[in-house]
Structure 1
């Protein structure tokens, strides 16, 4: 496992491990459990997004037996997504911390605009994973309900510290109400009696805040102080769950990762997480002032297109927190997936002329047109571009997907344009390979010899 971790952190291609697909998937699941964060990288069409679904299902449901059937995989993936175990998002150049972690968002209430702190995609995923608590003994909601019975009536009030621990407050519950009573322990002069309570947060709101799903937060500090008091009362009776939750980030390199994650980039490391981490860390979020950590049962799977240089590269601080798995173009997928013999033969021939076949890379279209500092594997056209059931479908893929992709590469300067390119493209549109004619040298005339 340590050898695999070292290989994949350095981007060693999966096919280089010489294992079966099932064994590789199992190893990648083991890697994800250990590292917590991985990025699937490769050229377009190598099945990165396809693979994230299989990885997520295999991790979330170890008893699932249909990993070789992608339809079954996607059915299970959707079930897990609806149950909240899998979340999906795509990074882009406009994504920022406020979208991903938390931010202040306006809300129209009647004729007035109010501003509320809203949890972003990542914070919601962490809260969802934190909610996955093993309640074999007792859960936080049951704890709150039991605690209410203990503070029923003013005579059973409790003195608890405030969230800052610089002072204390009284809390008690009137069984006729759906709120709890809170007031400072400092004596106040008023005509409303000893049991007057200026702050009365609802029990429902307290429970929502305990679960991390409360959007509006009046009396936030009082509610948090009450929840902390309940947790201290029942300390040790709540047990963290290992139920996996997955956050898939497609096109992760298209966003500014350091800006999007902000200070939370440190919390991604396995040993910095709460639950199983040896050195768990919590931070105070800038808008909500909530204490925040990343749970050990949240796993991140990113995908990255290795030819996409339109955005900033991933810096070293981010790289060392992810393991990188390279998915290569693979003609074996074409051999396996295309059932028609004639279509399969043409698809493989086109694949070989464009990408090479592993034995003769140097004469392929990509190799002879390569420019710049890209690796050959990064420029290849992925095998999914060649998967077609009929010759007409293969021609359509070549005309509207493969050729436009290669034209874009030439336009961007990552491939060199050559005189015979249009002859290649014309042949490929018909589903045929292009055979360059041998250029004959002109005969030297006797006049020129003179």
Structure 2
């Protein structure tokens, strides 16, 4: 690098170490000065002793106050306080890149009273004094004194590798930092010579004092003579930080890609935020509720593992919890890591929070308004936060017993969410402002870029839905009906707004009571429950300016006359707005004009009865055909650039002609293109798997009474990919 601004901290740290040396035998004054610093900068002093009654302190713990997981702004404030109190002349640093930091859970170099030995703090002072002496003189006597002090202190509980970090803080050019980041970096042959790596060992245990100084000497020799960007320990530590941050960022991106970005992609919901509902406990026994409500926040007590953004995966987070032995009570680390990961990555602005106290009381409702952030100045335990617009505060009886976890996503329990939401329907809160969610724009062009369909067919399909209001997309499995359904709705809406789209799937046991409304068992009797179609129509009725789309997968699997009941007539396009008496309710009900119904059915499903003719005339039918010959699929094939794949598609096209001409099958049994769509690279293993485990079993089903025909086509398919 052209400048070494990242080393601006070195002079300040070294001078502060010299200043602290004067307080070896006057620790009471040192403690008073530290307290005075925090009072002057109006910050809460971290917990440095049981009950915060500090009776002794070591110099490395002093450095740990500003070398742990806190914001740079707070680090600067603390260092300015030290500069003022100890008359440090060096400039206060404003960059801390590459400086090793303590785990917030173990931010002292000693254990608290009751767990530490009598001389533990004194032993740390001996290391501090001898380290400065050896750095200044490099005499044999000072070396011997340092090694002896180091060997004693490094064996104390809670010290170990942190001692090398502390030595680096006070004399960064003299002592190498061997925290996990640096050990990882210098043991990579890309960063240091192989013979050097072999000579320093595998770092399975903390080195002795003599071994540590030997590592220091070997490392300095390599840096001074080698052709590296780093020529000293501070530069080495900085570059180790730079590279590890790059790796961590890649891991975080991969974790987000795996858990979030692809979620819902198959049904068109990639990058779409849907409102989730959460049950939340504001502190142990809801003790923090009043403060959280007043401050407009929610927080989770994970201070012992610091800023939660540092973890690239839930597994990494769980491992750190187990390592630190954080307070998870009777809950397992698995549950603790789940709710913590969700708090950081899955909770989103716009989500609804129901605050609870114990198992039987709801005490408030709010809307999340910010992403996750870490604030080390907020509270001793609650520094992992999100901003919340708390819309309600009070006490409501919880329906049943609430789950005991701190944070739980209850979105999928629709009846439960409705019951809790109903508690607030008649409540009026002062200034209630919902979070406006910006949904992604989605056009017809976006639809055509994802769905292998011609523009003319898209125009036909969308116009059919507009005019008829009810369509059924039919075709063999694998032609992309489900893939296209939500995308069609979004393209006609012009935006990916999932609140205006609902999808259900019919099956043989699905009933009117499931779909519209019916009586269901409750704790002591039966209650009238509203079904998804009823609720969806009522929601659309309040928003007539916008269109709503109700999607039914496998529509021909249900008994449609039984499921739709008296709504059989009301779904017709010219009967929209007409009201009829419902079977289980005194109210009159109509299907709003802005509700469109999209059904999907497999024409190859021979075990199912044909659709009721009365229902058929209420729907328009659009056939989805294999898209192997469309421009979009041709571009997809070109992108894969695989000759065996091209040969397989050519064989499938011939196979589809044979299926269409077969009197027992026909067009509706052709093999769809989605069997051959993948985001992964196409190789021999993938091709063989598609043929062996997807296409051949389908042919066995089609021609179960003609095994010779199956064998012929299986041979042709395997020859295509040989």
* Residues in 1 aligned to 2:473 and 2:517: alpha-carbon distance in whole angstroms: 26
Distance in 1 between residues matched to 2:585 and 2:559, nearest whole Å = 23
Q: Does 1:251 align with 2:554?
A: yes
Contact 1:256 1:312 in 2 (8 A): no
Q: Which moved more, 1:286-295 or 1:88-97?
A: 286-295
Determine which structure has more spread, i.e. the larger CA radius of gyration: 2
Q: Which residue of 1 aligns with 2:652?
A: 351
- Partner residue in 2 for 1:403: 696
1:343 CA drift (Å): 4.1
CA separation of 1:429 and 1:124: change in aligned 2, threshold 3 A? farther
User: How far apart in 2 are the matches of 1:294 and 1:249?
Assistant: 16
Against the structure 1 CA distance between its residues 431 and 107, is the aligned structure 2 distance closer, same or farther, given a 3 Å change threshold? farther
CA contact (8 A) 1:329 1:377 kept: no
Structure 1, unaligned stretches of length 5 or more?
1-18, 65-75, 133-240, 275-280, 357-363, 434-450
Look up the SS of the partner of 1:331 in the other structure.
Answer: coil
Secondary structure of 2:626's counterpart equals coil
Q: How far does residue 386 in structure 1 lie from its aligned partner after superposition?
A: 2.7
Task: Give 1:393's match in structure 2, choosing from 678, 682, 686.
Answer: 686
5+ residue gaps in structure 2?
1-451
- Is 1:337 the counterpart of 2:629? The answer is no
1:380 alignment counterpart: 670
Moved more, 310-319 or 382-391: 382-391
Partner deviation per Cα, 1:230-271 (whole Å, 9 max, x = no partner)? xxxxxxxxxxx2310110000101111111101111001111
Query: What is the aligned counterpart of 2:532 among 95, 118, 121?
Result: 121
Quote the offset at 1:98 in angstroms. 0.5
SS in 2 for 1:104: strand
Which position in structure 2 is the counterpart of 1:289? Answer: 586
Contact kept, 8 Å, 1:387 with 1:394, in 2: the verdict is no
Establish whether residue 311 from structure 1 lines up as the match of residue 608 from structure 2. Answer: yes
Contact 1:29 1:58 in 2 (8 A): no
TM-score normalised by structure 1 residue count: 0.55
Question: What's the secondary structure of 2:697's corresponding residue?
Answer: helix
Secondary structure of 1:94's partner? Answer: coil
Q: CA deviation at 1:431?
A: 4.8
Please name the residue that 1:38 is paired with.
Answer: 471
Change in CA separation of 1:104 and 1:419 when aligned onto 2, cut-off 3 Å: same
2:522 is matched with 107
1:50-449 alignment, distance < 5 Å: 50-61=483-494, 64=495, 76=496, 80-81=497-498, 84-108=499-523, 113-132=524-543, 241-274=544-577, 281-333=578-630, 334-338=633-637, 339-341=639-641, 342-356=643-657, 364=658, 366=659, 370-372=662-664, 374=665, 376-388=666-678, 389-391=681-683, 392-411=685-704, 416-419=705-708, 421-426=710-715, 428-429=717-718, 431-432=720-721
Rounded Cα–Cα distance in structure 2 between residues aligned with 1:420 and 1:319 = 35
| Highest RCO, 1 vs 2 (Cα 8 Å, sep ≥ 6) | 1
8 Å CA contact 2:475–2:601 kept in 1: the answer is: yes
SS of 1:381's partner is coil
How many matched pairs?
A: 264
Q: CA deviation at 1:107?
A: 1.4
Residues 386 and 288 (structure 1 numbering): CA distance in 2 closer, same or farther, change over 3 Å? same
Distance 1:330 1:28 in 2: 15
- Matched position secondary structure for 2:525: strand
After superposition, give the CA deviation of every residue in 1:211-242 in whole Å (9 maximum; x if it has no partner). xxxxxxxxxxxxxxxxxxxxxxxxxxxxxx23
CA contact under 8 A between 2:700 and 2:707: conserved in structure 1?
no
CA contact 2:700–2:710 (8 Å) conserved in 1: no
Please state whether the residue corresponding to 1:249 is helix, strand or coil: strand
Q: How far does residue 27 in structure 1 lie from its aligned partner after superposition?
A: 3.5
Q: Once the 2 structures are TM-superposed, how far is the Cα of residue 426 of structure 1 from its aligned partner?
A: 4.6
SS in structure 2 at match of 1:419: helix
Instruction: Give 1:4-43 correspondences, 5 Å limit.
Output: 21-43=454-476
> Once superposed, which parts of structure 1, at least 4 consecutive aligned residues long, lie more than 6 Å away?
none
Higher helix share: 2
- Deviation, structure 1 residue 38: 0.3
Q: 1:354 to 1:386 in 2, by over 3 A?
A: farther
SS in 2 for 1:308: coil
| Secondary structure, counterpart of 2:601 in structure 1 | strand
CA displacement, residues 278-333 of structure 1 (integer Å, 9 cap, x when unaligned): xxx21111212221110000000001101112122112110110000011112224
